[in-house]
Amino acid sequence: MSHMTVFSKRRAFGAIVAAAVPLSIALVPMAKPEDVGMSSERMPRITQVMQNYIDAHQVTGAVSIVARRGKVAYFEAAGLMDLEHKTPMRKDAIFRMASMSKPVTGVAIMMLVEEGKVRLTDPVSRFIPEFKNLKVAVPKAGSPEAARGRAARTYQQGSGTEPSAPRAAGATGRGRGAPPPEFDEVPAIREITVRDLLTHTSGLESSGLGNREASRRAPRRGTDNLAGYVPTLARGPLDFQPGTQWSYSLLSGMETLGRIVEIASGQTFDVFLKQRLFDPLGMKDTGFVVPDDKLPRLVTLYQRTEGGGFAKEETPDWLNTKTLFSGGGGLYSTAEDYLQFAEMLVNNGELNGKRFLSPRTIDLMATNHVGDLYSAGGRKGMGWGLSVEVVMDPIVANRRTSAGSFGWDGAFGTHFWVDRKEKLAAVMLINETAGQMTRDFENAVMQAVID
């Protein structure tokens, strides 16, 4: 497979509260906050949120960027990107985006839907025949799993955030390290569809009853590629009957969609994204592999220790691959790059004079597709669209963002959202999970909007 290994050097941004400065035509331009209805006086509160979490030893560093009405009003870095060398965080730092890769995969699928090459209702078996006759794991009568029932499903019910970063070898939500559950296998009542994968209602390796057995039958190796790996996922049982539950598929669901992109487009997933999204959007530092000359910009990954410090971690095995292009969590990017993607969504599918999706398709992505399956898990006022979380009722959800806003998080702490009513997009990048930092960031951004 070919890889995205050619990136051009990015220019640094100037101070954020300054007159607009000329940028490459591919980048969202900068402006004074007041020019886009935001407050220069209130902007430092965003920086203070980042600094508060740094001072509390919750994160080592952060980069945040906010755009409104098509212009960047705020762009700052704080803290360190490497503790051992005391390397200051830089605005063009490269982060592991984890599940913020998923909305990118969703857009790729929707581009092919618009072209008539994929339908949301298509069974996955249309593209990958191995998925034709799937089985579903059901508890054996009298087993502990039968007694627990749905209580056996975890995944931060009620948090409305990406599950915590997978830690340790093989710990990708695939059910290892516990006694094997007792279950039988029954036929699926219907085939899983493209829509099921986009909405996490497929049951494909969703940390449920069949997850551990599925991972045993379809081991994930970093030397695999999507063409070789994804068909093996059909060997394992689903965690539940398709369409009956919402339960997060950390990697496998979106990786299956990545393979569908390859089959429908005739291009490998990395090449499709580079040619159809990243290059036209000016996302010069985004890809599945960080080139050697850009490794100095890669933020060091840490995990908080019980003593309140940080322990350095290597890139986990599930991400440390140059061949298995994971649409579920494999992208690396920068704040500036990802903002280009978010701005395209804010702008109803268009940026830099190029249209990627129609406004109606963006509407479709940002609509709740799962009824109360998502909100019933304790996420009141929230829904799930096509690869994104959607704010249905900000009052009920206790969110500062507008109704209809959408976005998602990454397991290492990354976060973005798109607010089309306010014509606003915001990206916050960290590489440690940090509790309520995403909500505090949203609050700090919205309090700076003054008209």
pLDDT in tens, 407-423: 999 999 999 999 999 99
Name the packing angle between helices 335-346 and 101-114 (round to 10°).
Answer: 40
- Is residue 90 within 8 A of residue 61, CB to CB? The reply is no
CA distance 432 to 214: 29
Tell me how far CA of residue 39 lies from CA of 42, 122, 205, 328, in angstroms: 5, 47, 45, 36
pTM: 0.89
β-bridge partners, 87: 82
Tokens 């409305």 identify what position?
160
- What is the length of the chain? 451
Q: Which two tokens stand for residue 121?
A: 């209702």
Per-residue pLDDT at 294: 97
Task: For the chain, list residues with pLDDT below 70.
Answer: 1-26, 142-181
CA distance 310 to 295: 21
Per-residue pLDDT at 209: 87
Model pLDDT for residues 244-272, shown as the tens digit of each residue: 999 999 999 999 999 999 999 999 999 99
Per-residue pLDDT at 152: 39
Per-residue pLDDT at 17: 34
Domains in the chain with CATH codes:
33-103+268-447 (3.40.710.10), 120-260 (no CATH)
How far from each other are the two terminal CA atoms of the chain, in whole angstroms?
A: 49
Which distant-in-sequence residues (6+ apart) come within 8 Å of 221 by Cβ?
229, 324
Per-residue pLDDT at 330: 97
Per-residue pLDDT at 165: 46
Amino acid identity, position 404: G
